[in-house]
Amino acid sequence: MRLPDSLFGRLVIVIALVIAANQLALYLFVRHTLGAARAQRMGDLFAGQIQLVREIRGRAPVLPDTRAGALLLVPGAALGTPPPAGSDLAQAEQTLQARLGPRAALRLAGNDRLWLEWQGKHPFSLSLPSYSWRSVKLLFLYWKFITIAMLAFIGALLALRQINRPLSRLFAAMEERGSHGLPMAAPMAGPREIRRLIQHYNRMLSDLRALLDERDLVLVGISHDLRTPLTRLRLGCEFLPDSARSAREELIKDIQELDAILDQFIAFSRRGQGEDWVLCQLNDIVGEVVQRFTNPVLGLRVISDCAPLPEALMQPLGMRRLLDNLMDNARRYAPGEIAVRTRVAGGMIELIVEDQGPGIPKLLRPQLGRPFAGVSQGVSGTGLGIAIVWTIARAHDGEVLFEDRPDGGLRVVVRFPWRNQEPQTQKT
């Protein structure tokens, strides 16, 4: 038997089983302690009734078949079966025979007849006004089942209310996003076990925030401290003689690469924090970035195919940084032709960047969202480019998909929902 998936359904089943077990135990207890006494009283009552009819038969030996309403008094033996062994009626029959001997007996005929039978002098059978024993038991069990189901439903509802309300607040806090994209802290409420869960959850969030703040501080500090010596190196390169022009250009290129790495550190540590949300056109941002990368010096060909898009609320600098990182990765790993497309599909705005490079193995794709987990393939880099893309996409409640192009190469699809209000992940 498969249990229900919901907590409420499981509570209903557990409470119903507990109540049913309690009722069964109570029935067995009452039957064991009071059943014998009740059977003895019934046997004494039946014996008195038979003795009364015997007195009447002694005065009027010839008794016609009497049928008055539910009362039946007939001469001779009754047609029926003995009561089931172990039942209250079987115990009552034993008490009856202990009083009057084996000539007295009980017989059951159908569902609604209980006969008192006497096989002594002037035999007769007497059926008192009775009712269906089986029908009464079935009706009793039916109402008991209904009562157990109602009590289980009410009990589960009350228990679930005590559990579900604080858990609902916890789930609501987990849906919201604060600094570093982490969930919000949950209010302390509910039973002791739930409060302990919320306490550990809030403590975990606090530790994560402290760890991320410390990491950001280290990244920003390193970037800031390296800016000064890089600036001095750049100035020193400018004063090199013309005879060292080739070496100067190599040094300047290395300095520019280090400067770009520092920019990535700073961009990753910020993750779009502090930037305002603006209603703007994604195609305009794509046009600016594509124009910057369309440079004969880079030897790069960029194809832009932008479908009409509605204006959407986004962080323009973050979205520009996202596309910059995708284009820069395509330029580094797949020099040649890059295609940039935009479209609307299924209510989502899609930004697609395609290249003709070697692509990324499928086994390595799930880890690309982590910092410093890039695929080098012999190309220098920090491993933060795709991590920044993932962070900015998540800030827009979006996702990043990596697919293979049919003609070879990699297709990166950034999907995020169109909206005209700030996404839930940025509300603090």
40 in a structural domain = yes
Same domain, 420 and 290: yes
Q: Is residue 283 part of a domain?
A: yes
Residue 244 lies in a domain: yes
Q: Rounded to whole angstroms, how far apart are CA atoms 113 and 176? A: 71
Q: In whole angstroms, what is the distance from residue 63 CA to residue 74 CA?
A: 8
pLDDT at 361: 80
The two structure tokens encoding residue 30: 């009452």
Judge whether 319 and 282 are in contact, CB under 8 Å: yes
Angle, CA 354 vertex, CA 350 and CA 358 arms, to 5°: 140
CA 126 to chain centre: 66
Give the pairing type, strands 337-345 and 301-306. Answer: parallel
Q: Do residues 315 and 343 share a domain?
A: yes
The CB density around residue 46, as the number of other CB atoms within 10 Å, is: 24
Same domain, 107 and 15: yes
Domain boundary among 210, 241, 270: 270
Any domain includes 163: no
User: What's this model's pTM, rounded to 2 decimal places?
Assistant: 0.49
Q: How far apart are CA 348 and CA 341, in angstroms?
A: 14
128 exposure class (CB count in 10 Å sphere: 0-12, 13-18, 19+): middle
Q: Tokens in use for 182?
A: 């982490």
Q: How many domains does one find in the chain?
A: 3
Contacts of 72 (CB under 8 A, 6+ apart): 66, 113, 125, 126, 127
Residue 170 resides in a domain:
no
Q: How far apart, in whole angstroms, are the C-alpha atoms of residue 359 and residue 404?
A: 7
Q: End of a domain among 220, 253, 270?
A: 270
Q: What is the pLDDT of residue 115?
A: 82
What local confidence, expressed as pLDDT, does residue 428 receive?
Answer: 41
Which pLDDT score, from 0 to 100, does residue 68 have?
A: 45
Residues 141 and 204 in one domain: no
What per-residue confidence (pLDDT) applies to 351?
94
Q: What is the pLDDT of residue 284?
A: 93
List Cα–Cα distances, 374 to 332, 340, 370, in angstroms. Answer: 12, 21, 8
Whether 386 and 297 map to the same domain: the answer is: yes
Using CB atoms within 10 Å of the CB of residue 398, give its burial: 0 to 12 exposed, 13 to 18 middle, 19+ buried: buried
217 within domain boundaries: yes
Domain identity same for 17 and 140: yes
- Within a domain: residue 17? yes
Domain boundary residue among 249, 270, 291?
270
Residue 162 belongs to some domain of the structure: no
Per-residue pLDDT of the chain (428 residues; tens, 9 = 90+): 677 777 777 777 888 888 878 777 777 777 677 767 777 888 888 888 888 888 776 665 545 445 444 556 777 766 678 888 877 788 888 888 888 888 888 888 765 677 888 887 778 888 765 544 444 455 666 777 788 778 778 877 777 777 778 888 888 888 777 666 678 888 888 788 888 888 999 999 899 888 878 877 777 777 777 777 878 887 888 777 777 777 878 888 778 777 776 776 666 666 555 567 888 899 999 999 888 888 766 667 888 999 999 888 888 888 888 898 898 888 877 767 889 999 998 889 999 999 888 877 888 777 776 665 555 554 445 567 788 888 888 888 889 999 888 888 889 999 998 876 665 544 44
Q: Which residue reads 């540590």 in tokens? A: 269
Whose tokens are 């607040």? That residue is 169
Same domain, 143 and 213: no
The CATH number of the domain holding residue 399 is 3.30.565.10
* pLDDT score of 379: 46
- Residue of 116, 102, 112, 108 lying closest to 47 (CA atoms): 116
For residues 156 and 13, give the distance between their C-alpha atoms in angstroms, rounded to a whole number: 9
**Residue owning tokens 């479209």:** 343
Closest listed residue to residue 333, CA positions, set 319, 354, 362, 308: 354
Which pLDDT tens digit goes with each residue over 235-268?
A: 888 777 777 777 878 888 778 777 776 776 666 6
Sign of CA dihedral 121, 122, 124, 128: negative
The helix (run of H) or strand (run of E) holding residue 230 is: helix 192-238
Whether residue 311 is found in the same domain as residue 396: yes
Beta pairing partners, 56: none
Q: Which domain holds residue 78?
A: 7-147
Residue 412's pLDDT is 92
State the chain's mean pLDDT as an integer. 77
| Cβ pair 78, 54 in contact under 8 A | no
Regarding whether 420 and 281 lie in a shared domain, the answer is: yes
What is the CATH classification number for the domain harbouring 209? Answer: 1.10.287.130
Q: Are 125 and 76 in contact (CB under 8 A)?
A: yes
CA–CA distance, 200 with 203 (Å, rounded to integer): 5
My answer on whether 238 and 104 are in the same domain is no
| Burial track 164-180 (b if 16+ CB lie within 10 A, e otherwise) | bebbebbeebeebbbeb
188 and 98 within one domain? no
**Could you tell me if 118 and 229 lie in one domain?**
no
Can you give the CATH number for the domain in which 40 is found? Answer: 3.30.450
